[in-house]
Amino acid sequence: MAKDKKLVRSTNCNGCGICVTVCPTNTKLSKAEDFDIDHAKLAIHVSNGCAVIDYDACIACGICTKNCPVSSLAMVQI
């Protein structure tokens, strides 16, 4: 899929992790038999209390933006 949008996170993020659980890329990875949360290439994960986006893995679907309780995530045109 050609990406004409990208996910951005604001400083509102409180590290709740909801985005990590609703992300379809993460869900797909977690179903793999050899899934290892410490080494999987998650599209988004929480580190040091803040969501971190992996732009190689993120497919820019925008689902996480609709589930963030503090509206920290948004899609922007690139």
44, 54 Cβ separation under 8 angstroms: yes
Q: Does 74 help bind ligand SF4 (rule: CB under 6 A)?
A: no
Show the site string, 54-73: x = touches ligand SF4 by CB under 6 A, - = not: ----xxxxxxx---x-x-xx
Show the site string, 2-31: x = touches ligand SF4 by CB under 6 A, - = not: -----x-x---xxxxxxx---x-x------
In this structure, the number of other CB atoms found within 10 A of the CB of residue 4 comes to 9
> Considering beta carbons, is residue 9 or 37 the nearer one to ligand SF4?
9
d(Cα 55, Cα 49) in Å, to the nearest integer? 19
